[in-house]
Structure 1
Amino acid sequence: MIILSIDTSQSASVALVDTASGAVLAVEQADDQRRHVEFIGPALVRVLAHEVQPELVVTGIGPGPFTGLRVGIAAGIAVSQARGIPVRGVLSQAALAEEFCRRSEGGGGPVLIAGDARRKEVYFSVYEASDASLKSGPFVAKPAEVADVLADHGYRLEVPGAEVGQSCDRVDITERIGRGFVLYDDVIGASGHPELVDPRAEFLAFFAARSIAAGEELGEPVPEYLREPDAKSAPVRKSHLK
């Protein structure tokens, strides 16, 4: 299947992927985590100039910043409508889980993925390394609260400065990947794979293909917001005019 994939949950990326052969036909990657609006249009033009045309659009649905997610999802819906092809949504951190799964060659265990949620917080989820399936999450919390949130959901995360305890009823987190560990390694530990930082569109396409092959239904392109947007609507003032 030829998939056009878009992710704007962290740094933005667009890719055209032949999932049957594993070939990335075209890819564009932004240099930073902001400027999603300026990036997405020209990137789509360049990627869609490829002679092979997409059969499906897959867009990352977050979690991520409010505005950034809307840019990518709106772009995916626009391409879908213009080309007359379906569009589906996938949790963005599944892209990193998929790439880790591909690199680990079938090794198992829980993988903690943490992204930058700004406001000095992280978005985080637990995935299974052997098949990139979601086990718990996504959540948003301060870095110092991550271990406690995970403990409430049956996982144990060793963090710098904490005493190493034994817990027979919690599963140890064996791997950590994502931008959150780059930003807050002093609080939640360092990533064992510093090359895997942000979700990338091509990883997202391969995850979607894995899900489809397993007979799973992909979701709708609806953003996964874990908190209210930074911008607030202005309050409506009551008029006293008669």
Structure 2
Amino acid sequence: MLSTSGTIIGIDSSTGACSIAVCRGGTMLAHFHEDMTRGQSERLAPMAEAGLAAAGLGFPDLDAIAVTRGPGSFTGLRIGMAFAKGLGQALGIPVFGVTGFDAVARAVFATEAAAGHGIAVILESRRADLFLQIYTTGGAPDGPPVALPPEDIAARLCQEGAAPLLLAGDAADKVLAVLDQASAAMLRSSLITAPDAREVALIGLEMAGDGDIPPALQPLYLRAPDVTAPRAG
């Protein structure tokens, strides 16, 4: 079993950014973040190496790896997960998959503004529907993640008897835009908009500390990829 005092690197390339974080126990040793819509495949390995160097470590010092497994950009997810898998196999260490929802929710729950509120994490899909995961005031997922149009998410968030919710994620504004003024006034927005490697690393370290062997790393897409059928002939 990996101790929670072990050293882990967190990786995120699931949205319009690329980030890595090196963590030992609860101490963040290094964190690099760059906004980018493309180019993660070229930047990820050098960023990880630089992060470890900044922490005074090398790849052999790692005990585990954590990586965002979705939802998000298909290309970005594949880049991050392929790098994490390859590194894990080369070093013989476990790789833990963390959802972007959990990473955002953890960052929000760490703020005082989240006290007494559930959280609705709403992430951009670059299509008409949006990605949604709701969390209870205790931090547990409230049902499975879904992909829904903004109007359907708005109706779900405003159900009678629902707990007060704090909205987070880069698509939260799209839901607020379709709410009437009274409904929008019942909800609050967080400044946390996207997953980051810091939370990915901390969640991965907790998962590693549980002592369970991580399941095979599988992406969380929530919808089919955009593909074009080949032309006949």
The reply to whether TM is greater than 0.5 is yes
TM-score range, shorter chain: 0.7 to 0.9
Q: In the TM superposition, what are the counterparts of 1:73-222 in structure 2 within 5 Å? A: 73-104=81-112, 107-130=115-138, 132-148=139-155, 150=156, 157-158=157-158, 167=160, 170-187=161-178, 192-194=189-191, 196-213=192-209, 218-222=214-218
Q: Which runs of 5+ in 2 are unaligned?
A: 1-5
Q: Distance in 2 between matches of 1:216 and 1:108?
A: 31
Q: Which amino acid aligns with 1:221?
A: L
CA contact (8 A) 1:7 1:201 kept: yes
The CA deviation string for residues 71-125 of structure 1, in whole angstroms up to 9 with x for no partner, is: 1100101111122211121212101111222223993442100111101432110
CA contact (8 A) 1:3 1:56 kept: yes
The CA deviation string for residues 16-71 of structure 1, in whole angstroms up to 9 with x for no partner, is: 112x2x22212221213443223323212212334233210011111112211111
Deviation at 1:233, TM superposition (A): 5.7
- Secondary structure in structure 1 of the residue aligned to 2:125: strand
Q: Which piece of structure 1 moves more, 85-94 or 33-42?
A: 33-42
User: Closer, same or farther in 2 for the Cα pair 1:209/1:41, shift >3 Å?
Assistant: closer
Deviation at 1:201, TM superposition (A): 0.7
Structure having greater relative contact order (Cα 8 Å, sep ≥ 6): 2
Q: Distance in 1 between matches of 2:38 and 2:107?
A: 23
Stretches (4+) displaced over 6 A: none
RMSD: 2.7
Q: Which runs of 5+ in 1 are unaligned?
A: 151-156, 159-165, 238-242
Q: In the TM superposition, what are the counterparts of 1:40-55 in structure 2 within 5 Å? A: 40-49=44-53, 50-52=55-57, 53-55=61-63
CA contact (8 A) 1:55 1:86 kept: yes
User: Closer, same or farther in 2 for the Cα pair 1:234/1:187, shift >3 Å?
Assistant: same
TM-score (norm 1): 0.77
Q: Which residue of 2 aligns with 1:154?
A: none
